[in-house]
Chain A
């Protein structure tokens, strides 16, 4: 196995009011697409921001390591980070409007990224920006170079963001729900573009999503989070064939798309009872209050991520068969 490009180890992130990401660990290998999934509020974005060291005010990395290309970003000095960010490591967000400057032409914004990181001249930066816009499928790129963000549709703005994010050929692109605000038709086009670029540029993609269809169709491996913790990670095939964590199983069962033929006249959907709010204040497994497989030992301590097979980990004492360990503790 290749050495991971990114190794996140026991990452813990908190706000003054409390910890929101608890000891998260995962790897991203060169050239692969790793999906990070989970429902809203489970800590996906905060994790992504921590990898970039761009946490919102008040948030702090409380522990753990983010080893990118041999450097621990969690401990790196600001000047070292500036160099890595945007150059080897790039981030795109769900709503590109928030990361594009509304009063600057989009071409200039892309050119600016390249001039900053690659030190190339004005004319060269413009030429490369136009090429990039063409690469991401903006037609008539030379003319659109001078257009402002509001002249673009949501799908086109996301393409512009992608152009900017890949301008310096990053080794890892973090895409935080890049298509959640888009229609399925446009989503398919944007994901296809990301995947083409991944192959052409040999970059890895950390794809944050809450859509299991997107995971199945576009990712190599998946890490599932629940209430700030990793509950399962596996390559996509074994994950969809035999999900091990009760939450992962429940999600697949509950999704209407899973059994394509299901219709309300013939089958009730499986539900996961309750809501994620029940994880608050839970001393044991955060999913225990909603879990159909719960045993008494689950309420004692949060389960640790345990290897079930090659590259398949689960944080569930019942699924991992380690319930006796928890009982002994």
Chain B
């Protein structure tokens, strides 16, 4: 049984009388110890999917199971035991850290809320977690603004991990960081996964980061998963024209390599009512694509694509 199983998940927002289906029938699994990468252009629904899984946003329909237990329909009050098992690391650690609380308070609060340990025990856990994320012990009595961006992300990670969760949803955890700091944080996340046996759902719009960090990768387009494969296959043999366009758009840090021609035009719009949602930007669309919405189907071992003209 997978640690996380999501089936046919839908999330809708209503704003100014308009309904946006930000997650539109997503199914996925994350196994214990696995890192699943989620990529796609901004606005395709990655953060909404992550927040829905954590029940920070309510799903409209579908199933979310943690080790087999359904949580999609639980009331907030009944979610507490599951909240301990799933945590989130955000892109902007500063925005998600209360500036008036010391690091010690920030880390201790979740322990208190979940009624874990006595005062001394919680203190020990906080200090242990600070050491694990590579912050000095005296960090505990300081405030978030006293730290650099990379160190603040370490605080964000420590806060997510202090409850010893099994699944951590990382939403663009290194996107706001400078290159010289990104490697530090990625190495830290790898080490923590190994030491604490974590599973990650790793959301990023940066494909090179996902390529390094994920075991399996899912490509999302306008609320749907359009391709999923293990990391080697996705990069060697992407089948969806959108995946291919995304991969070829990443500029390679090697001037002797020629730029890949950009075959995909236009921008993420809104989903058409019929047919494939990618067709208006697709370089290989045919008539069938405007009438029949392609479903995800197997094209190889653990390799699934939603396209009438894969390859």
Question: Is B207 part of the contact surface with A, judged by Cβ < 8 Å?
Answer: yes
Give the total number of A-B pairs whose CB atoms are below 8 A apart.
Answer: 130
Point out which of A213, A218, A269 has the most chain B C-beta atoms below 10 A from its C-beta: A269
Binary A-proximity of B256-276 (CB < 8 A = 1, otherwise 0) = 110100101101000000000
A271 touches B (CB below 8 Å):
yes
A22 beta carbon closer than 8 Å to chain B: no
With contacts A153-B267, A210-B178, A214-B251 taken as known, whether A256 is within 8 angstroms of B186 at the C-beta atoms is yes
If the complex has contacts A250-B180, A271-B183, are A256 and B267 also in contact, measured as CB distance less than 8 A?
Answer: no
Q: Which residues of A contact B148 (CB under 8 A)?
A: 275-277
Determine whether the beta carbon of A217 is less than 8 Å from that of B208.
no
**Within 8 Å of chain B (Cβ to Cβ): is A72?**
no
Within 8 A of B (CB), among A38-89: 39-40
Residue pair A240, B254 in contact (C-beta under 8 Å) = yes
Interface string of A148-181 (1 = CB under 8 A from B): 0000010110000000000000000000000000
In the complex, per-residue mask of B189-200: 1 if CB is within 8 Å of any chain A CB, else 0:
010000000000
Question: A290: nearest residue on chain B (CB-CB)?
Answer: B180
Q: Please tell me if A109 contacts chain B, counting CB pairs below 8 Å.
A: no
User: Which residues of chain A have C-beta atoms less than 8 A from B151's C-beta?
Assistant: 275
Minimum CB–CB distance for A217 against chain B, Å: 4
CB B92 to nearest CB in A, in angstroms, measures 14
Q: Is A185 an interface residue (CB 8 A)?
A: yes
**Mask: chain A, 231-248; 1 = CB below 8 Å from B; 0 = not:** 000001100100000000
Interface: A257 (CB within 8 A): yes
Contact (Cβ within 8 A) A272 B183: yes
Decide: A184 and B180 in contact? CB cutoff 8 A.
no
- Least CB distance, A239 to chain B, in whole angstroms: 8
A236 touches B186 (CB 8 A): no
Taking the complex as formed, is A212 at the interface, i.e. its CB lies under 8 A from any CB of chain B?
yes
Contact A213 B251 (CB under 8 A): yes
Counting contact residues on chain A (CB < 8 A from B), the size range is 35 or more
Smallest beta-carbon distance B90→chain A, Å: 18
Cβ of B255 within 8 Å of any chain A Cβ, yes or no, is: yes
Tell me whether A211 and B211 are in contact (CB under 8 A). Answer: no
B250 adjacent to chain A (CB < 8 Å): yes
Main SS of chain A's interface residues?
Answer: helix
Cross-interface CB contact of B209 among A185, A256, A271, cutoff 8 Å: A256
User: A212: which of B35, B181, B209, B253 is its contact (CB, 8 Å)?
Assistant: B253
Tell me whether B187 and A271 are in contact (CB under 8 A). Answer: yes
A-contacting residues, B166-209, CB 8 Å: 178-184, 186-187, 190, 205-209
Residues of A220-263 contacting chain B, CB below 8 A: 236-237, 240, 250-252, 254-258, 260, 262-263
**C-alpha spacing A309/B9, complex, angstroms:** 59
Please state if B253 and A252 are interface contacts (CB–CB under 8 Å): yes
Q: In whole angstroms, how far apart are the Cα atoms of A148 and B272 in the complex?
A: 25
A258 and B183 form a contact (CB under 8 A): no
In addition to A271-B183, A277-B148, 13 A-B residue pairs with Cβ atoms within 8 Å of each other are A184-B206, A186-B41, A240-B253, A254-B180, A254-B182, A257-B252, A262-B212, A263-B211, A264-B213, A273-B184, A275-B148, A275-B151, A276-B148
What would be 29 A-B contacts, judged by CB atoms less than 8 Å apart?
A184-B206, A184-B249, A185-B262, A188-B251, A188-B262, A189-B262, A212-B253, A213-B208, A213-B250, A216-B255, A216-B257, A217-B255, A218-B251, A237-B256, A254-B183, A255-B182, A255-B183, A256-B182, A256-B183, A256-B186, A256-B212, A260-B208, A262-B212, A264-B186, A268-B187, A269-B187, A269-B212, A271-B180, A275-B181
Q: Which 4 A-B pairs have the closest CB atoms?
A: A213-B251, A257-B208, A39-B178, A254-B183
Interface residues of B (CB under 8 A from A): 35, 41-42, 148, 150-151, 178-184, 186-187, 190, 205-209, 211-213, 215, 231, 235, 245-246, 249-257, 259, 262, 264-265, 267
